[in-house]
Chains A and B, each alone.
Chain A
Amino acid sequence: MIYREAGQFKTTYASDQAIFPIVQDRVVVAVAIAAAFLVPPLTLGDYWLQAVLIPFLVYALAALGLNLLTGYAGLLSLGTGGFMAVGAYSAFKLATAFPGLNIIVVFLLAGLFAAAVGVAFGIPSLRIKGFYLAVATLAAQFFLIWLFNKVGWFVNYAPSGTITAPARTVLGVMVTGPESTAGARYVMALAFVAVFALVAKNLVRGRVGRAWMAIRDRDIAAEIIGVRPLRTKLLAFAISSFYCGIAGAELVFLYLGSAETIAFDITLSFLVLFMVIIGGLGSVLGSFLGAAFIVLVPIFLTNVPHNIGLDLDVALAKQIELMVFGGLIIFFLIVEPHGLARLWQITKEKLRMWPFPH
C-alpha cells in the first residue's frame, strides 16, 4: 500500500535497469537529496553541521571507497587510513604549492595521487588473498603514516608536523579554513558525496562492477570467462583509493581544519572497515548506513544522559556509551549479518507487499 506500484510498466530496457526503477523511490530520493542540500545549512546550528553531519559525510565517502574494494571486489584492505592520509597530505601540498588552484581540482588531484599509491600497494593482491591481503595492506597503513611523519617536506617543514587547511573559495564562497562557515563546508562535502555515490552506483551496475563481483565470487571462474584479474583488481584498488583519498582531503579541509598523522592511524582503517561491515558489504546504501551508525550513534549516546536530565559522571557515561555501542553492533550483526542495507532491503520488500505479505 505504501508502495502503490499499480500502473508502473517498464516498456524499455532503460526504465527496467534504472537505478531506482520504482517511481516512489525516485521521488523520495530526489526530495531527500534536495532537502539535504537545502535544509541543514539553513536550519541547523554549527554543532550539528560541524560535529555530526560533516564527519558523517566524510566517513560515508571513505566507506563508499572501501566498500568498492572490499564489498564488491572482495579484496580486504586495512590500508584505508593510509590512503586517506595520502589524499590529505597531497591536497595540502597542492593547495599550498599552487594557491591559485581551485580547491575542487585540488581534491580530485589528491584523489588521483591516492589512487596511484593504492595501485602500488594493490599489486600484491594478485598473489595473496583474504586475510593475507589484509596484512599486506596493513603494511601500506604503517609505511605511509611513517613516511608522512618522517619526511618534513610533506608538511612544509612545519616544526609540529601538523597540516593546516588554507582558506580557499569556490564561486566566491569560502569553503575551507577557519573563516568558512560550517554550512558552506557541509554543502561542499555533500556535493562530493552525492556525485561520487552516483558514480559508484553506476560503476557497480556496469561492466566494471560486474567484473569485480565475478572476481570476488570466484576468481578462477572469472578469469575463464574473460575477466582480467590484474586489471580488475588494480582498478578496484585505484578507484577505492581515489574515493578514500578525497575523503582524507575532506577530513582535513572540511572537517578538522588541521591534522596530524595520528588522525589517520590504524584505528581509522578499522573504523571505516566496521562501517562497511555493519552497513553491508557490497552495497552503496550500506556505506551510508554504516557511516551513520558508527558516527552518529556514539554522539547520540553521549547526549542522551544530558538531555533526559540524568547527571552522570562523564567517565561513567563514556563507559556506558562504549558498552551500549558495542552491544548495538553485536545486536545488529546477529539480527542481520548482512548489514543494515539488507535490513532496509527486507523492510522495503515488506512495504511493497504490505498489507498482504506472503
Chain B
Amino acid sequence: MKRRTWLFGVLAVVVALAPVAPALAQSNQIFIPLLVYRTGPYAPSGIPNANGFQDYFNLLNERDGGINGVRIAVEECETQYDTKQGVECYERLKGKGTVVINPYSTGITYQLIPKAPVDKVVVHSMGYGMTASADGRYFPWVFNFPMTYWSQASAFVKYAAGVEGGLDKLKGKKIVHIFHNSPYGKEANPTLEELAKKHQFELTLLAVDHPGQEQKATWLQVRRLNPDWIYLSGWGVMNGVAVREASSIGYKMDRLVGNWWSGSESDVIPAGDGAKGYKSMTFHAAGANFKVHEDLAKHVYGKNKGAHKKESLGEVYHNRGMINAMLNSEAIRTAMVRYNLKTAPTAEQVRWGFENLNLTEAQLDKLGMKGMIRPIKVTCDNHEGNGMAAVQQWDGKQWKVISDWIEPMRDVVRPKLELAAVEEAKKLNYTMRDCSKEK
C-alpha cells in the first residue's frame, strides 16, 4: 500500500509540473530559436555549430547592442538530430515570436517546409535541406543560400575536371558517390547523374545505411572499381569511418572529396595521419584569424560569456555556426532598414529581408568576416543566392582552403532545379508567384 502511495505521489508531481502555456517573448527582442543537437550520435558536429550561433549572437548583443539596437534573444531546443523531436521543438517555439528558424537537419527541414507559409516562419536551411526550395517563386518562405547540394555537386565536378585538366578530360573517368542513405545523402545524385551523361564519366552510386559504421562492403566495391574520384556525402560517424577505410585501402586521399557536411575536424581526427590530404567542399574558410575572432575574444570570451572552448575557436563548424547566425542577422538587418524599424520586425518583414539580402564585401569587412565567406545576393526567384564553393584540405592539423572560389554550373543546375520545384510544388498545391510584382 505504501509504495503505491509513493507511486501516485511521483505521478502527481509529474502531472503538476506539466507545461503551462508557453510564455510570450518580450516584445522588443528579436527571438531566434535554435534547434541544436548537443547530445546523441551527431553531437560532435552539433556542439560547435550551436556554440557558433550562440557566440555570434552574443557578440552582436555585446558589441553592437543587438541588430540596429534591438537585442537578440535565443532559446535552444535539443533535437538529438531526430526529426520527431525537432518537430516538437518547432511547435513549442513557433508561437513565441519566432521570425526565423534554422532546422540544422535535412529531415527536419523537410518537415518544416510545408509548415513555413502556414505558420509564417522563415526557414533558412543554409547549404542543406531541399534543393528545389531554392526556387523562390514557389517557396517564398524557404531559403537555402549560399548554395544548394546540387550546385555543390556541380562545383565538385568542376574542381575534379580542373585537376584532370579540363571538362573534356573527364570522359571515361570513374567517379564514385558514397552517400548517406537518407534524403540528405541522395540529394546530389540527380546532378551527378546529369553531369555523368553530359561529360561522359562513369558514375557509381554507393549507399551507406544510417548511421554508417558499417562500410566494409562499400569499400570492397571501391577497391574493385578503383575510381579516379570519390565524392562523399556523409554525416556524423559515417565520415570518420569512410576516411579511415579509404586510408586503409590505400586510396589516394587527395582524390577523396567530401561535401561540406563531411569536412570538419571530428571527421578526420579519428583517422589520424591517414586522413592527411583528404579534401572537402566548403563555402567559407576555417581558422580563427579573422577580425570577428578578435572581437569575440574581446567582447564575449573576455567577459567569460563564450560558449565554446577558446582554443577550439576556428573549427569548421564553429565558423559555420557563426556564419549562419550572421546571415540570419544580416537578413533581419536588411528588413529593419527597409521598414525603418526600431523594434523587432515581424516574420513577413524578415522574409522580405531574406529575399532582398545583399551582403557586400564592405559589409562583411565591417562585420569582421572579410575573406571568411564571399559576398552574397539573394533574389525573389533565386533563394540559393549567388554563392560559390571552395575546396579545403586537411593537412593533419587544420583545414586549409586550397582552391579559388568555384562557380557552380548554374546552367545545368538551375533548369533541373526549376523542374524539381514544379514537382515539389505540385505535391503541396503551391502556385507560382510573379517575382516582377514583388516590392
> Which A residues are closer than 8 A to B by beta carbons?
45-47, 50-51, 55, 146, 149, 158-162, 164, 166-167, 177-179, 256-263, 265, 297, 299-300, 302-304, 306-308, 313-315, 317-319, 322, 328, 331-332, 335, 343, 346-347
Contacts and interface: CB of A to CB of B under 8 A. Distances in A.
Given A179-B118, A258-B114, A308-B17, A161 B186 contact: yes
Contacts of B10: 328, 331
B186 A335 contact: no
Contacts of A257: 111, 114-115
13 contacts: A146-B209, A149-B207, A158-B423, A159-B420, A160-B106, A161-B186, A162-B183, A261-B182, A263-B84, A300-B15, A328-B10, A335-B3, A346-B4
Interface in B169-224: 181-183, 186-187, 189-190, 207, 209-210
A131 to B, nearest CB: 23
Contacts of B94: 46
B99 interface: no
Contact of B182 (A47, A260, A319): A260
A335 B7 contact: yes
- Best-buried of A178, A259, A263 by chain B (most CB within 10 Å): A178
Given A307-B20, A315-B78, A317-B78, A258 B181 contact: no
B77 interface: yes
Contacts of A260: 83, 107, 110, 182-183
Given A306-B19, A335-B7, 8 more contacts: A46-B91, A47-B92, A51-B91, A260-B83, A265-B210, A299-B19, A299-B88, A303-B92
B78 A314 contact: yes
A239 to B, nearest CB: 26
Residue in B117, B190, B207, B209 with the greatest tally of chain A CB atoms within 10 Å = B209
Contact of A315 (B7, B38, B92): B38
Nearest to A334: B3
Interface residues of B, number: 53
A300 B76 CA distance: 17
B111 A318 contact: no
Contacts of A303: 17-19, 92
B114 A262 contact: no
Given A51-B87, A258-B111, A160 B130 contact: yes
A318 B85 CA distance: 11
Given A50-B91, A161-B182, A335-B7, A258 B110 contact: yes
Interface in B409-427: 420, 423, 427
B183 A297 contact: no
A327 to B, nearest CB: 10
Contacts of B189: 159
B22 A262 contact: no
Contacts of B106: 160
B107 A262 contact: yes
B91 A161 contact: no
A307 B17 CA distance: 7
A163 B427 CA distance: 10
Interface string B127-156: 000100000000000000000000000000
B182 A343 contact: no
Contact of A343 (B7, B39, B115, B186): B7
Interface in B4-57: 4, 7, 10, 14-15, 17-22, 36, 38-39, 43, 47
Contact of A159 (B15, B182, B186): B186
A307 B14 CA distance: 12
A160 B110 contact: yes
Nearest to A180: B118
Contact of A297 (B14, B21, B43, B186): B14
B428 interface: yes
B142 to A, nearest CB: 12
B428 A164 contact: yes
